[in-house]
Structure 1
Amino acid sequence: MKKVIFSFFIPFSFYAQSVFQGKLTEMDSTQVIPFAAIGIVNKAIGALSNEQGHFIFESKLVTPNDSIQISAIGYKTRIFSVREFENHMYKTIQLEKLANELDEIIIESKKLKTEILGAKKFTINNCTGFVKGSKNWQGSETASLAGNKEGRHVYIQEFSFYIIQNKYTDSLQFRLMFYEASPKKWPRWRTFLRRPILFKIGIEKGLYTLDLRKYQLNTEHDFFISIECLEEEIDISKFCYSGANAQPAFVRPAAYEWWNKTRGGGAELQVKVAYPAK
């Protein structure tokens, strides 16, 4: 069973500016863990580790009674009190790796129906983008409701969205996320992904489609489709994608921030799903 070693530095004073920094690696292979979420529970304070596994964030709002949560897709979430760190009880933290074997999906019916969920079409003249956090765009998410019928077991095959403009010369990296919808149609806090889905965008304009069949994603609930920015800069004047004025927008500017809902301007995100024909 693989574990993750978490190296960190925390200052002695928690009532001034507190700085948290460290690195995530796998114990067995020293492989770094990129884009893990590290934050303060119930305070909407946090950050992502970068591509090399390093992270740093700071806040004046942290007290010894607060808790630090470390989450990475494919690993068990761990929570520790800041006071424990202050007392130097933990100089490294090991995160237990979840079993990553995916259950084989067996579809008894020979016939499958396919359907498009989320955006039915793309409004290519209405540009929307990511919300900037306190320092940059890394960890910012935008989500839209898929609209699956409750109780209908679907297999998520493809993801698509339409890029209206991309003026960046280097490829941009994102993470695709899926969340079950709450009864009030808000994204639940935790994703139902069992392994991360990272992808890069290099095209200047047009439809981008990602094949998801190898991830064997399936659910019988309504769910949210979300894209998370993994870049420090992604200004809307340089990169944007299609959005709908009549569609609610669900956004959060950084890891561990709360989801916010606005009346319009929601991202047009689309998935193709399959389900057995009756």
Structure 2
Amino acid sequence: MKTLKLIFFLITVNFCNSQSINGIVKDALSGEVIAYANIVLKNGKGTYSDEFGNFKLTVRNVETDTLKVSTIGYESQYIPVNLFKDNLIYNVLLAPKTEGLDEVLISSKKLKYGKKEILGEQREGNQSVTSLIGYETAVLIENPKNKTGKVNGVYINLKKRNDAEYIATFNVKFYQFDSIANAPGKLMYNENIYVQPKNKKYRLWVNVEGFGILFPKNGICVGIEMVNTHGKVKKYAYFGPMYRYTFTEEKTLQTWSNYHNSGWRDGSIEYKNPKRTKVGVLNPMIGVEVEYILE
């Protein structure tokens, strides 16, 4: 009987310590709402603000959890959850970043470029892998010439998800490669690049030629985030399309995963082809079109 009372007490305490937090994400200077900002708790649960900047999230560890609100081009906000109260809507103000433009290619003279080249994973096998809403998948595109260039476009090889209930929106991002941390580093373009894919098997090209994105000598990391722009959907709703992955025996980490901007983790998938003796990893078939500066 004492055991039952203890269990009931623990459940009651846990229930009482949970609450819903409501907010609107806004630009701290202009007051304009910020759509599709990443909202994530320290314990790992996350969501997006909707097209009007609104968000709602249920929190269990009210006294100990912290909310992180972030999006490209703004300083992240970290807010103790116990500052929120039930049934009240709070304005979460994000300050625009004031970084310099060293992330993009700027020159006072007209640069000359060589022929266009396509870089990325070479196809060997064709596996389809489903990514979840809120996750960003990033790959390292190596620079075989060790020369500076510019990025003209990004391709993503996709495959139809037959049971998809919604179509995700892609947010394309570019990062420097941090060779010390062996992970994506500083953002190279400080704006969101939203793309509407189709739920079918094809190669999606994203034109970024006019964005002035540098292709560094040590390569570039390209991230694709799957964003929900449909508002409130049921838990574990199926989103399409799927990424197409290719097999490689090279086990050096080249793929990372990031949930609602909470931090990079190993995103590669170990794989053994049952028809072969080869063992390796699967990486998404994402690549870039580049032009190198003529010296």
What TM-score, normalized by structure 2, do the two folds share?
Answer: 0.69
1:226 and 2:223 correspond: yes
Any idea what SS the aligned residue of 1:63 has? coil
* C-alpha deviation, 1:33, in angstroms: 1.2
Quick one: structure 1 residues 45 and 171, their matched pair in 2 at CA, closer, same or farther if it must change by over 3 Å?
Answer: closer
Any idea what SS the aligned residue of 2:196 has? strand
- Gap runs ≥5 in structure 1: 1-12, 131-136
Task: Tell me if structure 1 keeps the 8 A contact 2:175–2:220.
Answer: yes
* C-alpha deviation, 1:174, in angstroms: 1.1
1:275 corresponds in structure 2 to 292
2:7 corresponds in structure 1 to none
* C-alpha deviation, 1:46, in angstroms: 3.1
Matching residue within 142, 148, 158 for 1:163? 158
Task: Tell me if structure 2 keeps the 8 A contact 1:170–1:202.
Answer: no
Any idea what SS the aligned residue of 2:210 has? helix
Aligned residue pairs: how many? 252
Task: Tell me if structure 2 keeps the 8 A contact 1:32–1:53.
Answer: yes
Q: In 2, distance between residues paired with 1:211 and 1:140?
A: 22
- Gap runs ≥5 in structure 2: 1-13, 271-280
* C-alpha deviation, 1:99, in angstroms: 5.6
Aligned residue identity for 1:277: L
1:250 corresponds in structure 2 to 256
Q: In 1, distance between residues paired with 2:200 and 2:184?
A: 30
1:141 corresponds in structure 2 to 136
Task: Tell me if structure 2 keeps the 8 A contact 1:122–1:242.
Answer: no
Higher helix share: 2
2:203 corresponds in structure 1 to 207
1:133 corresponds in structure 2 to none
Matching residue within 211, 216, 240 for 2:212? 216
* C-alpha deviation, 1:207, in angstroms: 1.4
CA shift digits 1:22-46 (9 cap, x unpaired): 22234777643112122345x4343
2:243 corresponds in structure 1 to 241
| Percentage of pairs with the same residue | 19
Task: Tell me if structure 2 keeps the 8 A contact 1:113–1:276.
Answer: no
* C-alpha deviation, 1:235, in angstroms: 4.0
Aligned residue identity for 1:250: W
Quick one: structure 1 residues 85 and 35, their matched pair in 2 at CA, closer, same or farther if it must change by over 3 Å?
Answer: same
Q: In 2, distance between residues paired with 1:212 and 1:23?
A: 31
* C-alpha deviation, 1:198, in angstroms: 0.3
Task: Tell me if structure 2 keeps the 8 A contact 1:44–1:258.
Answer: no
Q: Which has the larger radius of gyration?
A: 2
Aligned residue identity for 1:191: L
1:46 corresponds in structure 2 to 46
Quick one: structure 1 residues 249 and 99, their matched pair in 2 at CA, closer, same or farther if it must change by over 3 Å?
Answer: closer
CA shift digits 1:53-90 (9 cap, x unpaired): 222223434534x543321212222334445557xxx9
Task: Tell me if structure 2 keeps the 8 A contact 1:244–1:266.
Answer: yes
2:38 corresponds in structure 1 to 37
Q: Structure 1 stretch 248-257 or stretch 99-108: which is displaced more?
A: 99-108
* C-alpha deviation, 1:95, in angstroms: 1.9
2:10 corresponds in structure 1 to none
